[in-house]
Chain A
Amino acid sequence: MEKATRSERIILFLILAFIGVFMVFPMIWMFLSSLKTTEEVLGSTMTFLPSDPQWSNFSGALELAPFLRYIWNSFSTATVIVLAQLFLSSLLAYALTQMEFRGRNVLFMIILATYMLPAATTYVPSYIIISRMGLMDSLAGVVVSNIVDVFSLFLLRQGFLKVPGELIEAARADGASEWRILWRIVVPTSKNTLINAALISFIGHFNNYLWPSLITNSEENFLISVGLNRFFNSQGAFGQTFPLIMAATVISILPLIIVYFLLQKYFIGAISSSEGIKG
C-alpha cells in the first residue's frame, strides 16, 4: 500500500476523530447528565458541564433500587454461562475438527442451521422447558438456558482448525489421550480464540435483556438490564429522576468498561474475528 501523504493523514485523522466523538458522545452526555440536577437536564438552556457536580445522584440511585445486586446477578450469571459454554463448545469443536467419524460435516451443518433460527421463535418452547425444569424466576434458569451457544462453538471450531495437525499427531505419538490433547495442547494453543469467544459471549450475556426479563420476576433475580428497565418504568415522574436514571446507567456499564480496559488488546481480535459473521 502506498504511504499516505501528510495531508491525507490529517484528513483521515479528522474524519476518524469526528466519527469517534460522534460515537462516544452519548456516553459522555450520559455521564455528564448523571452529575447534573433535574433542572439543568430539562431546563430551557442547555448546558454542557454540570455547574455543580451532583455526586449524590449515584448514592441516590443505589438507594432507589438494588443496582449492585443486579450487577452481581449479571456478572455472576454471565461468568458461569461463559465458562460452561467454553467447556461444552471446546468438547464439541474438538470432535468436529480432530476426530473422524461418519456424518461429521452433516452434524456441523445441522448445528449451524439452528443458528439461523430467530431467537424469538425459541422463546416459547424454551419457556416451557425452563418452567418444567422448575427453573422459572431463578438465575439457574438464566444460566441453564444459555450454556449451549452455536456462535461460540463456531468460533472455537474455526480456531481449532488452525492448530497445526502435526502438534496433535505429535501428542498422539507421545501417548496422550484425546481428552489430554484437547486441554493440554489444543485449548492452550487456541487461547486467543477462547478469550475472543469469552468476551463476545460475556458482553452479550451481561447486556442480555429480553429473555431474562421473560423468565425472571422477582427483584432479587433481576439482571442489570432488566432491573434498569424496571427502574425506568417504576419512576413514574420520569423527568424528576432523569439524573438518577443516568447515574444508574453509568453504574450498570461500569463493569464492562473495566473489562474493556483490562482486556483491550483482545477486543480488537474479538471484533475482527466475528465481523462478517454476526452481521
Chain B
Amino acid sequence: MAIIELKNIYKKYGDQSDVIEDFNLSIEQGEFVVFLGPSGCGKSTILRMIMGLESITSGELKIKGKLQNNIPAKHRNIAMVFQNYALYPHMSVFNNIAFGLKVRKTPRKEIKEKVTKVADLLNLTPYLKRKPKNLSGGQMQRVALGRAMVRDTDIFLMDEPLSNLDAKLRTTMREELVQLHRNLSATTIFVTHDQMEAMTMGDKIVILDAGKIQQVGSPDEIYHQPENLFVAEFIGAKKMNLLELTKDERGVTYSNQVIKLPVFEADKEADILGVRAEDCRLSLTEGYPFEITFIEKLGSDQYIHGISDGEKVIVREKPEKTFEVGQQIYFTINEEKIHWFNRETGEKVRPKNG
C-alpha cells in the first residue's frame, strides 16, 4: 500500500503561475525516493507541502490513507532534515536531538536512552554537550540527522542535506545514509539537484522540471530509457548527444547521410537522434564527420569533444587511443542504443514492438 499519495497537487503563490502543476505520485512503504531537478523546479516545495510547512493550493495529499491537507506540521509526525541543518543554536547537541521528544512529553529516562542510542549510532557521543557552533559541518549534519532519527516516525524528508558538505564527506555521508535507510527501513524522500546523489541513493528517482514530473523510474531506467529530451540531457555525467535530423527526398538524413529509421508507433515522428557518449566510437575512415575540439582525460576513460555538422558531440573512448585537437575524423553510432525524440513535443518516440 502506498504510504504517501499525492493526487493532482497544485501550488500557486498569489497571482503567479503555478509553481507545481498537476503533481501525481505515490510512494510505497520503505522506499527511498529522490526528487531530482534543477534549482527552482519545485522539488523542495513538494517536500515542504508533504511536511506541512507549505499550504497545498489544490489536490490531495494522503499519508497512510488519511487526508493531510489541513493538518498542521506538528501533528503529521514526519521527521525532516533541512539543508542548513537548522540546529537550535542555543541548545547542546543532546538537547537538539531531544527537543522533538521533549515536545511529545516523553519520559526523561526514555529520552536519555533514545538520544544516547542515536548519538552512538552517529558517532556523536563525545559531542553531546557541545553547542552547534562548535561542531564541524559533518557533525552538524549528523546532529540534524539524529534529530530526525530519534523521533518515532517512519517517514523522513530530507531537503538537500548533503549540499553543504565537502565532496569527500558527501560521499561518505551518502553511503551512511543508504546504510541507515537499510537499517531503519523508513520511507525516505530525499531532495537534491545532484544527479550523482540521486543515482547512487534512490530506489526511485522523480525528475522534475518547471513544477512538473518529467519521469519517474529507477536509476537504470532514467539513464537508459529517458522519456524526454529534458531527462536525456539532464541525466548522465555527460549529457546525451542529440543530433538534429533533416528530411529530404531520400528520407531522413544526418550530415547528408541517410539514417535508417525504425517503424514508430502510429502518428509519431522522430526528428532527433539521441545517443550517449559511450555508445559512439571514433573512426578514421567511416561514419559522420567529427572535428576534435577538446579532449578530457579521466584516467580510466577519455571523453573526446567535437563538432559534427554544427552539433556538439561527445564520444567516450578507451584511454590508450591517442587523438589530437583539430583532427578531422569520423564517429559511428551503435544503432541498438539510439533514442528517438520529437523536437516539438520533447517526448521520446517509441519504435513499434520496441
Contact of A189 among B80, B89, B147 (CB under 8 A): B89
In Å, the complex CA distance between A28 and B4 comes to 73
Specify which chain B residues have a CB less than 8 angstroms from the CB of A172 in the assembled complex. 52-53, 72-74
Identity of the chain A residue whose Cβ is nearest the Cβ of B91 in the assembled complex: A188
Contact of A166 among B74, B78, B86, B147 (CB under 8 A): B86
Interface of A is mostly: helix
Say yes or no for B104: interface residue by CB 8 A criterion. Answer: yes
Task: Identify which of residues 169-192 in chain A touch chain B, using a CB-to-CB cut-off of 8 Å.
Answer: 169-177, 180, 184-185, 188-189, 191
Contact of A175 among B83, B88, B103 (CB under 8 A): B103
Say yes or no for B229: interface residue by CB 8 A criterion. Answer: no
Is the pair B84, A173 in contact by a Cβ cutoff of 8 Å? no
Identity of the chain B residue whose Cβ is nearest the Cβ of A173 in the assembled complex: B80
Number of interface residues of B (CB under 8 A): 26
Specify which chain B residues have a CB less than 8 angstroms from the CB of A191 in the assembled complex. 90
Task: Identify which of residues 220-270 in chain B touch chain A, using a CB-to-CB cut-off of 8 Å.
Answer: none
Is the pair A167, B88 in contact by a Cβ cutoff of 8 Å? yes
A183–chain B nearest beta-carbon distance, Å: 12
In Å, the complex CA distance between A109 and B103 comes to 34
Say yes or no for B77: interface residue by CB 8 A criterion. Answer: yes
Specify which chain A residues have a CB less than 8 angstroms from the CB of B72 in the assembled complex. 172
Identity of the chain B residue whose Cβ is nearest the Cβ of A188 in the assembled complex: B90
Is the pair A176, B99 in contact by a Cβ cutoff of 8 Å? yes
Specify which chain B residues have a CB less than 8 angstroms from the CB of A43 in the assembled complex. none
Contact of A176 among B51, B83, B103 (CB under 8 A): B103
Say yes or no for A164: interface residue by CB 8 A criterion. Answer: yes
Is the pair B51, A173 in contact by a Cβ cutoff of 8 Å? yes
Identity of the chain A residue whose Cβ is nearest the Cβ of B79 in the assembled complex: A173
In Å, the complex CA distance between A44 and B122 comes to 81
Specify which chain B residues have a CB less than 8 angstroms from the CB of A173 in the assembled complex. 51, 53, 73-74, 78-80
Q: Given A164-B84, A170-B82, do A175 and B77 touch, yes or no (CB 8 Å)?
A: yes
Identity of the chain A residue whose Cβ is nearest the Cβ of B75 in the assembled complex: A175
Is the pair B53, A169 in contact by a Cβ cutoff of 8 Å? yes
Task: Identify which of residues 48-104 in chain B touch chain A, using a CB-to-CB cut-off of 8 Å.
Answer: 48, 51-53, 72-75, 77-80, 82-84, 86-90, 99-100, 103-104
Q: Given A166-B82, A167-B86, A189-B90, do A174 and B51 touch, yes or no (CB 8 Å)?
A: no
Is the pair B80, A170 in contact by a Cβ cutoff of 8 Å? yes
Identity of the chain A residue whose Cβ is nearest the Cβ of B73 in the assembled complex: A172
Say yes or no for B305: interface residue by CB 8 A criterion. Answer: no
Say yes or no for B151: interface residue by CB 8 A criterion. Answer: yes
Specify which chain A residues have a CB less than 8 angstroms from the CB of B103 in the assembled complex. 174-177, 180
Is the pair B89, A175 in contact by a Cβ cutoff of 8 Å? no
- Shortest Cβ-Cβ A-B pairs, 8 listed: A174-B100, A170-B86, A166-B86, A173-B80, A172-B73, A188-B90, A175-B74, A176-B103
Is the pair A176, B86 in contact by a Cβ cutoff of 8 Å? no
Specify which chain A residues have a CB less than 8 angstroms from the CB of B53 in the assembled complex. 169, 172-173
Task: Identify which of residues 118-153 in chain A touch chain B, using a CB-to-CB cut-off of 8 Å.
Answer: none
Specify which chain A residues have a CB less than 8 angstroms from the CB of B79 in the assembled complex. 173
B264–chain A nearest beta-carbon distance, Å: 48
In Å, the complex CA distance between A122 and B79 comes to 51
Specify which chain B residues have a CB less than 8 angstroms from the CB of A171 in the assembled complex. 88, 99
Specify which chain B residues have a CB less than 8 angstroms from the CB of A188 in the assembled complex. 88, 90
Specify which chain A residues have a CB less than 8 angstroms from the CB of B90 in the assembled complex. 188-189, 191
Is the pair B84, A174 in contact by a Cβ cutoff of 8 Å? no
In Å, the complex CA distance between A175 and B73 comes to 7
Specify which chain A residues have a CB less than 8 angstroms from the CB of B89 in the assembled complex. 167, 189
Most interface-central of B72, B86, B100 (chain A CB within 10 A): B86
As a 0/1 sequence over residues 26 to 57 of chain A, the CB contacts with chain B under 8 angstroms (1 = contact) are: 00000000000000000000000000000000
Specify which chain A residues have a CB less than 8 angstroms from the CB of B73 in the assembled complex. 169, 172-173
Identity of the chain B residue whose Cβ is nearest the Cβ of A169 in the assembled complex: B53
